[in-house]
Amino acid sequence: MTEQQFIPKAYSKTVESGKVTWESPSNIALVKYWGKKKDQIPENPSISFTLNNCKTITTLTFSKKENAFDFEFDVYLDGEKKDDFKPKIQTFFERIEVYLPFLRYYKFKIETKNTFPHSSGIASSASGMSALALCLMSVEKQLIQADATLSTVERPVDENYFNQKASFLARLGSGSACRSIEGDLIVWGQTDAIEGSSDLFGVKYPYQVHENFKAYQDTILLVDKGEKQVSSTVGHNLMYNHPYAKNRFQQAHDNLEKLKPILESGDLNDFIALIESEALTLHAMMMASMPYFILMKPNTLKIINKIWEFRQETGLHISFTLDAGANVHVLYPKKESSEILKFIKNELVAYCQNGHYICDQIGFGAKLIKN
Ligand code: PMV
């Protein structure tokens, strides 16, 4: 697959107006994406669990305009107009215009809401950008389907193509968003370890996965709900000329290779060692950047130490991962959830800002709500 394959033939019919709603989840990486090339191409492959409860619901209303000069859109979050969201979407539209040539011909209203609080420190870019990409794909699907005289090659709207292009577009909005279209394990970034993997879009993990990883739990401890001091964009860019970049990118390839037998056999101890190392390596890259920065907070470290102590004492398979922030994702198998959740409530929630946490688990991807 190359970018060219996502450029549609001219649309020969138009749809005057319409409305579509998608909900799309967040995801949490096990092997982390950190560092990118031009056009949101990742420096290394990554793999994530798609989440189930943390999601964005977006309704896109569209109507044909007279002229095709500028992009025309308004954005609403929880019913409130958000002009400060516009520059990000303007950039997104500019990046994807060549793949969705109808964009300039319609006026859009984008209404969005998240199931998690906006200021929770949980990035809404993965779920938000994937939900918007899916809504736009639904518009394109109508434009293409409207002309039944086209051959099926010219009407490539089967589910596989639809999801692939949605993931491709979402990537151009926010890299990790390309892993939010489907579930339950998604790989993004070309690597010999995973057949069919691509730098352009996420693909479903194609190999066998042990029962232990079904319905894996993710309790997100909200340690710091404030705005991050350093954005992911800045963090990715600091991987240019980073002294450890080359080794880190190779390590991600190696970790994906190592994860395959772990996912197949269900070896939870090896799984834990690999994902915790990935989380700490991500933050080590931040600390070793120039300028350097730290996104973990004292309570992040307290939680990590408590998790290690509890695991040592009980032998239960509790583990953690981190994204680019201070919050801790506590990961554990479903069958151990009653004891581990009790521990989280009794021992870990005290380290959360206002005692806030979110219970989530592996999910299966985005859903069309209304077309
Ligand atoms: O998609 P971005 O640019 O927000 O980067 C996400 C980076 C991490 O969350 C730290 C890792 C990942 O693979 O999701």
Three-state DSSP class for residue 139: helix
Torsion angles phi and psi, residue 119, rounded to 5 = -95, 65
Tell me which residue has its CA closest to atom 9 in ligand 1.
Answer: 323
The minimum-distance atom of ligand 1 relative to the CA of 40 is: 3
CA 284 to ligand 1 center in whole angstroms: 15
Does any ligand 1 atom lie closer than 6 A to the CB of residue 324?
Answer: yes
Of ligand 1's listed atoms, the one at least distance from the Cα of 282 is 10
Rounded Cα distance, 39 and 188, in Å: 14
Amino acid 157: pLDDT: 67
Confirm or reject: Cβ of 279 under 6 Å from ligand 1: no
DSSP secondary structure letter of residue 212: G
Q: Which atom of ligand 1 is nearest to the CA of 174?
A: 1
User: Biggest alpha carbon distance in the chain?
Assistant: 69
Cα separation, 345 vs 266, in Å, equals: 27
- The tokens 């006026």 sit on which residue? 107
Residue of 24, 30, 32, 180 to test ligand 1 pocket, by largest number of atoms within 8 Å of CB: 32
pLDDT at position 1: 73
Q: Where are the alpha helices (DSSP H) in the chain?
A: 86-96, 125-145, 159-173, 232-237, 245-265, 268-287, 298-314, 337-343
Q: Is any atom of ligand 1 closer than 6 Å to the C-beta of 172?
A: no
How far is residue 193's CA from residue 259's CA, in Å, rounded to a whole number? 10
175 CB less than 6 Å from ligand 1?
yes
Could you tell me the pTM of the whole model?
0.96
Q: What share of the chain is helix, strand, coil (3-state, %, to 5)?
A: 40, 25, 35
Low-confidence ranges of the chain (pLDDT < 50): none
Alpha-carbon distance of 288 to 310, in angstroms, equals: 30
d(Cα 157, Cα 115) in Å, to the nearest integer? Answer: 29
In terms of phi and psi (left: phi > 0; alpha: psi -120 to 50; beta: otherwise), the region of 40 is left
Q: What is the DSSP letter of 104?
A: G
Beta-sheet strands, E only, within 222-275: none
Q: So what's the pLDDT on residue 288?
A: 98
The runs of H, that is alpha helices, within 35-123 are 86-96
- pLDDT given for residue 68 in this prediction: 80
State the Cα–Cα distance between residues 90 and 63, nearest whole angstrom: 18
Which amino acid appears at position 362 of this protein?
I
43 lines ligand 1 (CB under 6 A): no
Q: Do you find a cis peptide bond into 291, omega within 30 degrees of 0?
A: yes
pLDDT of residue 156: 55
d(CA 169, CA 22): 15
User: What is the set of domains in the chain, with CATH numbers?
Assistant: 3-192+365-370 (3.30.230.10), 214-361 (3.30.70.890)
pLDDT given for residue 229 in this prediction: 84
Q: What is the pLDDT of residue 7?
A: 94
* Number of the ligand 1 atom closest to the C-alpha atom of 36: 3
Contact (Cβ atoms closer than 8 angstroms) between residue 201 and residue 167 = yes
Residue-level pLDDT at 158: 86
Are 176 and 48 in contact by the 8 Å Cβ rule? The answer is: yes
The span from the CA of 108 to the CA of 75, in Å, is 9
Question: Would you call 146 exposed, middle or buried from its count of C-beta atoms within 10 A (0-12, 13-18, 19+)?
Answer: middle
